[in-house]
Amino acid sequence: MTRFVATTIAVLAFGLAACSSVVEPVRYASVSVANGTGAPLSVKVDGVDVLAAQVPSGVSRVMMIPEGLHQVQLLDAADNGAVVSVKGIADTAHTVVAYPRIIAGATTGISTSVLADTGSIVPTGKSKLRVAHLAANAGNIEIWRSQPDFPSGVHIMTPFPYQATSPYLQSDPGTWEVWLTAPGSTVRTVSSGPIQIPSGERRTVLLLDGASGPRFTVVTE
């Protein structure tokens, strides 16, 4: 073997060894918890306490998780709760929604739903909104919205069954509103109130069960 060939092989071997020792940077996704259970919840991620007492009807701070599959556990004061798997994908956001589990009209624990980042990009000069129907006791309802370029109001989806989530709806920046009516009626029974969405931003509106009936919670994404 010539000195040139031997040197070349040595250089290549060194280069491969150096490449194999390179540590790839950890990439992160985000997860937050929307608590619709009516009671404080603690939150664990992969068995580690991350929130001591998530307030009822609130949305938690954003927590960063590495890429990959994670177990998010939600527990009430009696350590009853639920575990949900969340697949973290870099630079995406996930909202874990906790709400009452209803069986035969009785609350029997906690149900969960994961609202994933769909990759929906909001163009400059536009705003977006979607609605998730997670109110098991809402009964027969219709869900409406008004938006900056259509203030008179229109249905979101027909039908809009329990546990369904609408696609993102796009409009101009400004004031949105989401409300409920009885089927065939235009009388508002429950409203989100005005939802201000600036240019380039989006919101998710959760319809959840409350102590006095269905209610809306707005999640800033």
Task: Give pLDDT tens digits for 125-173.
Answer: 999 999 999 988 899 999 999 999 999 999 999 899 998 999 999 999 9
Name the E strands within the chain.
28-35, 41-45, 48-54, 63-66, 68-75, 81-88, 93-103, 106-116, 127-134, 142-147, 150-155, 169-171, 174-181, 190-191, 195-197, 202-210, 213-220
* pLDDT higher than threshold 60 for residue 51: yes
Task: Please give the Cα distance from 33 to 100 (Å, whole number).
Answer: 14
**Beta-carbon contacts of residue 195 (< 8 Å; ≥ 6 apart):** 129, 175, 176, 177, 178, 203, 205, 218
Considering 85-94, 107-116, 149-158, 190-199, the range whose residues carry the highest mean pLDDT is: 190-199
- Residue type present at position 47: G
Sorted by where each starts, the structural domains of the chain and their CATH numbers stand as: 26-117 (2.60.40), 120-221 (2.60.40.1110)
- Residue type present at position 5: V
What is the structure's pLDDT at 14? 37
* pLDDT higher than threshold 80 for residue 121: yes
Name the E strands within 117-173.
127-134, 142-147, 150-155, 169-171
- Residue type present at position 189: T
What is the structure's pLDDT at 9? 33
- Residue-wise pLDDT for 57-106, tens only, equals 678 888 999 999 999 999 988 888 899 999 998 888 888 998 877 666 67
What is the structure's pLDDT at 3? 41
Task: Please give the Cα distance from 201 to 204 (Å, whole number).
Answer: 11
Phi, psi for residue 134 in degrees, rounded to 5: -125, 25
> Ramachandran region of residue 57, left (φ > 0), alpha (ψ -120 to 50) or beta?
left
Q: Is pLDDT larger for residue 172 or for residue 26?
A: 172
Q: Specify the pTM.
A: 0.74
In Å, the largest CA–CA distance within the chain is 90
* pLDDT higher than threshold 60 for residue 2: no
Q: Which two tokens stand for residue 98?
A: 């906790």
